[in-house]
Amino acid sequence: MSMSLICENLYQFTTYVPPMDFTLHQYLLAAEPAVLFAAGTVPQARAALPQMREVLNGRPLKYVFVSHMESDESGGLPVLLEAWPELTVLCSALGARELPGWGYEGQVRVSGPDAPLQDGALSLRFFDYPSEVHLQDGLVCLEGRSGIFYSADLMLRFGNAGGKVIEGSWQDEVAGISPERVPNEARRQKLQEALLSASPKLIAPGHGFCVRLHGA
Ligand SMILES: [Fe+2]
Ligand SMILES: [Fe+2]
């Protein structure tokens, strides 16, 4: 597990899986209040915890955004809840119903396109994401002040990408959302339209290279 500073206040925690040439990332946005994008797997959450505490310097982690229920996105929740009992999970309504199965019994705020979150320096906007694997209602998330878009399994890339940022365009990245990721064509188009109504500055993916966006 390694930690990299991607841009101001954005810390990336990465596990690299050599046989797959694939990275798993979590991101801590150390704003006031602080939010973590993806809980990570249990081993990753355990490994990242001491560094997260160091970055937060005594402040609590207030939110964890969980895109969908899968080991890399939600597995580490019990580890995080033990460290920060006041933690609130931000997830979809379906995700909230699944949380007890992941051993999480802390606070939950059901989030979605109609339920953005303003809290201190955070301005979170959510997009419906019919996530691959389950093909049901997950979410992806944009933090509007920093322009950071956490894409979960969208816009992912292979490669040893820890700490690395490439250049790209938002239009191309949105157009590149393939049927393998979101097979339902109507829902894929709806997601693409919703995403194009936003203009992030940086894509922080769950896997692969971060993308700094042109013109942002
Ligand atoms: Fe996933
Ligand atoms: Fe993932």
d(Cα 44, Cα 49) in Å, to the nearest integer?
8
Domain of residue 131: give its range.
2-213
How far does the centroid of ligand 1 lie from the alpha carbon of residue 86, in Å? 26
What is the predicted pLDDT for the residue at 133? 66
Q: In this structure, are residues 163 and 7 in contact, taking their beta carbons and an 8 Å threshold?
A: no
Average confidence score pLDDT of the chain: 95
How far does the centroid of ligand 1 lie from the alpha carbon of residue 189, in Å? 19
Q: What is the pLDDT of residues 39-52, one digit of tens each?
A: 999 999 999 999 99
| Proximal ligand: closest to the CA of 207 | 2
Residue 103 pLDDT exceeds 90: no
How far does the centroid of ligand 2 lie from the alpha carbon of residue 30, in Å? 22
How far does the centroid of ligand 2 lie from the alpha carbon of residue 206, in Å? 5
What is the predicted pLDDT for the residue at 132? 65
Task: Over range 24-33, report the average pLDDT.
Answer: 98
Residues around ligand 2, an ion, CB closer than 5 A: 72, 153, 206
Lowest-confidence segment of 78-82, 99-103, 118-122, 162-166 by average pLDDT: 99-103
| Proximal ligand: closest to the CA of 70 | 1
How far does the centroid of ligand 2 lie from the alpha carbon of residue 72, in Å? 6
How far does the centroid of ligand 1 lie from the alpha carbon of residue 25, in Å? 12
- In degrees and rounded to multiples of 5, residue 109 shows phi and psi of -120, 115
d(Cα 186, Cα 6) in Å, to the nearest integer?
34
Residue 216 pLDDT exceeds 60: no
| Proximal ligand: closest to the CA of 152 | 2
What is the predicted pLDDT for the residue at 136? 80
Residue 19, domain CATH? 3.60.15.10
Q: What is the pLDDT of residues 135-172, one digit of tens each?
A: 788 999 999 999 999 999 999 999 999 999 999 999 99
CB neighbour class for 32 (10 Å; exposed up to 12, middle 13-18, buried from 19) = exposed
CA distances, 62 to each of 52, 81, 84, 89 (Å): 12, 10, 8, 9
How far does the centroid of ligand 1 lie from the alpha carbon of residue 144, in Å? 23
The count of domains in the chain is 1
